[in-house]
Amino acid sequence: MTKFKDLNLSAETLRAIDKMGFEEATPIQADTIPLGLAGKDIIGQAQTGTGKTTAFGVPMVEKIDTKNDSIQGLIIAPTRELAIQVSEELYKIGSGKRARVLAVYGGQDIQRQIRALKQRPHIIVGTPGRILDHINRRTLKLENIQTLVLDEADEMLNMGFIQDIETILSNVPTERQTLLFSATMPGPIRAIAERFMKDPEMIRIKAKEMTVSNIDQYFVKVQQRDKFDILARLMDVQTPELAIIFGRTKRRVDELANALSLRGYQAEGIHGDLTQAKRLTVLNRFKSGKIDVLVATDVAARGLDISGVTHVYNYDIPQDPESYVHRIGRTGRAGKEGMAITFVDPREMSYLREVERTTKKRMTPMEAPTWDDALSGQQQAAVTELEGAITKNELTEYRTFAKNLLDQYNPEDIVAAAVKLITKEPDRTPVHITNESSLPQKRDNFRSKNSGGGYRKSGGGGGRQGGGRSYGNRDRKGSSGGSGGGRRKYSSNS
């Protein structure tokens, strides 16, 4: 186990890391930081939620000369929310040294960004389009960049940002250090990386599977028309603390968020057609627990680090295995437990098998819960809530009522009535969800439709694991566990 204090960091940066609550470096951090400090170009691959941001953030911050007012570090990320999150993390790491960090992304007033750029930031974190925009307006000067990071590089390739990135790179000195990170590294990204990079070191945290072992992975075979009711029942059974539901299209996300709200869940949707302000509000409401279900397209699949996400539901199976890896990686972060449930239309089983081949991990089949299962889930949740109130013991004002009731009725009847009243019966309000056609049938098992050049891995397969159902009831909100404060210890999995 490597501690940060053994990594030859400056006292300022160590202090900042200490303030973040980190003591032990995660494996990707332990491997990346020394090589990064030595100035090497690095391709870093490690599972979701294992601290890649700090892995590239620390060497970048360490190299910043805060007496120099020019931009010395540039980080490119595929989505706006991720750019903001990464800038926040870099700000924390750089707080000891007082490094100035600025996020620039689309959808935010460009004049405001131009004013902020005049405040002489040392590090810029941005999305490709907006960075390019600033380059063209000559409001972003990159000639003193020493360290460049491409976070989620493979996604930027998928999204067709390659041309933008090449243009950005042509504005950055060739004498620079380049770091490239993701949980997935399909073949072509490596080929492209070689073009951008000098003799890169490949750091790959070895793991048996591509997904972290602390995420329990299930799939449910379900027909399109039954998906929504089954989703609602699953949530009633599992009572997730915070859940993300991924849908395939924007329409689907809107419809699901509406339908869930109709049924009484605190749910909102996020996708690329919303204004940036709306996207940020929804995300912040989710982070602060004002809503507990986030319905999203793949715009929220990459890199987002929201603590306390216990469940990820794939309402639609993703088209490619990489997307699956990142989606489910929104739970089970930094050693926490998580559960991922993927709906699969029987005609889409070949996609599921392809995901399994890529991740080298089998999903456990789960049976769709019935309405009665949902009811028992909610009853159990009511009991948990009751127990929470008993433990909390703020009951003084209620004791007289209790005594009076006990004088008149049988104790079992009283408690049963209480549980009944607290139980939120599964709702049957009719909702409308437009059927999406299932993914095209695959003839070729080795390549998915949008693989853009067939870089998907293939491998063993066959055979299904034993069935059985397993719903994993989780504690409800309110029993707030005492996890606050103190150091966070990273317990590595595998």
Ligand X SMILES: Nc1ncnc2c1ncn2[C@@H]1O[C@H](COP(=O)(O)OP(=O)(O)OP(=O)(O)O)[C@@H](O)[C@H]1O
Residues that bind ligand X (CB under 6 A): 22, 24-26, 29, 46, 48-54, 183, 303, 305, 329, 333-334, 488, 490
- Tokens at residue 308, please? 């306390």
Of 91 and 490, nearer to ligand X (C-beta) is: 490
Picking from 281, 68, 64, the residue whose alpha carbon sits closest to that of residue 177 is: 64
Query: According to CB under 5 A, which residues from 95 to 134 bind Mg ion?
Result: none
Of 307 and 445, nearer to ligand X (C-beta) is: 307
CB of 17 to ligand X, least distance (A): 8
Which amino acid does the sequence have at 283? L
Of 128 and 303, nearer to Mg ion (C-beta) is: 303
CB of 306 to ligand X, least distance (A): 9
**Dihedral sign computed on CA atoms, order 228, 233, 236, 237:** negative
488 binds, among Mg ion, ligand X, none (CB under 5 to 8 A by kind): ligand X
CA dihedral 102, 107, 109, 112 (to 10 degrees): 0
CB of 75 to Mg ion, least distance (A): 11
Number of H helices, E strands in the chain: 17, 14
Q: Which of 27, 36, 96, 303 binds Mg ion (CB under 5 A)?
A: 303
Of 37 and 414, nearer to ligand X (C-beta) is: 37
Q: Please identify the residue of the shown chain whose CB is closest to the bound Mg ion.
A: 303
User: Which stretches of 317-461 are assigned E, i.e. beta strand?
Assistant: 338-344, 364-365
490 binds, among ligand X, Mg ion, none (CB under 5 to 8 A by kind): ligand X
- Cβ atoms of 4 and 14 within 8 Å: the answer is yes
CB of 23 to ligand X, least distance (A): 7
CB of 151 to Mg ion, least distance (A): 6
183 binds, among ligand X, Mg ion, none (CB under 5 to 8 A by kind): ligand X
Picking from 116, 126, 198, 112, the residue whose alpha carbon sits closest to that of residue 156 is: 126
How far is 91 from 103, CA to CA, in rounded Å? 10
CB of 245 to ligand X, least distance (A): 18
User: What stretches of 94-226 show up as alpha helix (H) in DSSP?
Assistant: 110-117, 128-136, 153-158, 162-170, 187-196
Of 148 and 344, nearer to ligand X (C-beta) is: 148
The strand pairing partners of 16, in sequence order, are none
Of 284 and 435, nearer to ligand X (C-beta) is: 284
How far is 396 from 249, CA to CA, in rounded Å? 51
CB of 366 to ligand X, least distance (A): 24
Q: Is 302 in the site for Mg ion (CB under 5 A)?
A: no
Q: What distance separates the 2 farthest-apart alpha carbons in the chain? A: 84
CB of 161 to Mg ion, least distance (A): 17
Picking from 280, 338, 275, the residue whose alpha carbon sits closest to that of residue 85 is: 280
How far is 30 from 490, CA to CA, in rounded Å? 12
Listed ranges 256-264, 285-293, 295-303, 456-464: which one lies at the site for Mg ion (CB under 5 A): 295-303
Sequence-separated (6 or more) residues with CB below 8 Å from residue 156: 76, 78, 128, 150, 162, 165
Q: Residues in contact with Mg ion, total (CB under 5 A)?
A: 2
Of 46 and 76, nearer to ligand X (C-beta) is: 46
Of 205 and 366, nearer to ligand X (C-beta) is: 205
- Tokens at residue 108, please? 């935010």
CB of 476 to Mg ion, least distance (A): 30
How far is 23 from 15, CA to CA, in rounded Å? 11
Query: According to CB under 5 A, which residues from 454 to 493 bind Mg ion?
Result: none
Rounded to 5°, angle at Cα 83 from 79 and 88: 150
Of 79 and 342, nearer to Mg ion (C-beta) is: 79
- Cβ atoms of 126 and 154 within 8 Å: the answer is no
268 binds, among ligand X, Mg ion, none (CB under 5 to 8 A by kind): none
CB of 308 to Mg ion, least distance (A): 17
389 binds, among Mg ion, ligand X, none (CB under 5 to 8 A by kind): none
DSSP class of residue 439 equals: P
**Dihedral sign computed on CA atoms, order 48, 184, 221, 304:** positive
Listed ranges 46-54, 106-114, 229-237, 251-259: which one lies at the site for Mg ion (CB under 5 A): 46-54
25 binds, among ligand X, Mg ion, none (CB under 5 to 8 A by kind): ligand X
Q: How far apart are the first and last CA of the chain?
A: 14
Of 46 and 433, nearer to ligand X (C-beta) is: 46
Q: Which of 4, 16, 52, 229 binds Mg ion (CB under 5 A)?
A: 52
Positions in the binding site for Mg ion (CB under 5 A): 52, 303
